[in-house]
Structure 1
Amino acid sequence: MTQRLDYGALAPAAMQAMIALQRHVENSGLEPPLLELVKMRASQINGCAYCLDMHSKDARAAGETEQRLYLLDAWREAPFYNDRERAALAWTEALTRIAGSHGVSDALYEEARKQFSEKELTDLTYAIIAINGWNRLAIPFRSEPGHYQPGNHGKR
């Protein structure tokens, strides 16, 4: 597939707003490996090849194991994720699929709150909003996977 258009160049102010949101998430204090898992899981759900390519490369460059990346889609059945990561992944799935879920259950919220402070849960939610936004830019405009090099976020 060929990229349809350069959305960043066509709407630079909007692109800067997305980058500012991403920068907030990256500076939030949430663990980078956890954030990469969240980005990967949302991108799996949304079917965003560009973002899966990017975040799998970034995760591996940061030391993430192949095994955890390969089994991310089956995280509930795999023993390789800690309770905090599981809570983040469940929260990611609920927010990414929110349209069909009629909201987020009290039980899921309480489980997330056991692992995250109010500030952390707010920042995690912004991280999920950000990756879903990036997915919704990359998919319709066909950002081409395969060319991304780890650490090159500025060249979306």
Structure 2
Amino acid sequence: MEKRTNFFEKGPGALKTLFHTGAYLKKSLIEQKLHELVDFRVSQINGCAYCLDMHSKDALAHGELDQRLFCVSAWRETPFFTDRERAALAWAEAVTACHVPDETYARVKAQFTDEELVDLTLVITTINTWNRFNIAFSNPEVVGTYQAGQFA
């Protein structure tokens, strides 16, 4: 199998925009713990091993509980998540699937202001973009090497 292009080395101009978006999101209205939870869930949906490793480590570093990470794929069936988190997870799943039912929109609007909802949507679309880069240019040997806060 041919080794794939290292997109970090070969695409710094293109990635600069994503890094600027990430810097904005760190200061956004979406609390970091929720941001990491959404990043983790979207990465599960997309099957991005590198991002799952990264966001599980960053989530734990921000105080997330192991139990909640273990159960995030079944968040509907657990008592571990707040109404705000449930709305964010439902929104993340819907936006990632490119199908947002009215009920999902109403649920998230009950928990987030307009500005927060725009920021949350940017969190979701950004992690979807990172997932696609990591999957397209897969380098399995780097999975597991991330250290919490490495790109902070």
TM-score by length of 1: 0.91
Aligned-pair Cα RMSD in Å: 1.5
Identity %: 49
Indicate the residue corresponding to 2:24 in structure 1.
24
1:116 to 98, 102, 112: 112
Aligned to 2:129: 133
Counterpart AA for 1:127:
V
Partner of residue 103, structure 2: 107
Match of 1:50 in 2: 50
The one-letter code matched in structure 2 to 1:151 is: G
Distance in 2, matches of 1:113 and 1:88, equals 10
Instruction: Kindly state the Cα deviation for residue 2 of structure 1 after the two structures are TM-superposed.
Output: 9.1
Counterpart-to-counterpart distance in 1, 2:144 and 2:55: 11
Gaps of 5+ in 2: none
Matched residue, 2:148: 150
1:106 Cα deviation from its structure 2 partner: 1.6
Runs of 4+ displaced beyond 3 Å: none
For residues 3 and 41 of structure 1, what CA distance do their matches in structure 2 show?
Answer: 28
How far apart, CA to CA, are the structure 1 residues paired with 2:138 and 2:101?
34
Post-superposition Cα deviations, 1:59-114, rounded to whole Å, max 9, x if no partner, equal 1111111000000000000100000000000000001111xxxx312211111000
Offset at residue 29 of structure 1 (A): 2.2
Q: Deviations over 1:28-87 (max 9, x none)?
A: 121111001100000000000000000000111111110000000000001000000000
In structure 1, the gaps of 5 or more residues are none
Letter in 2 for 1:150: A
Read off the aligned partner of 1:105 and give its amino acid letter: P
C-alpha distance in 2, partners of 1:47/1:18?
Answer: 20
> In structure 1, what is the Cα distance between the partners aligned to 2:29 and 2:71?
26
Matched, 1:7 2:7: yes
Determine the C-alpha separation between the residues in 2 that align with 1:16 and 1:5.
17
> TM-score normalised to the size of structure 2?
0.94
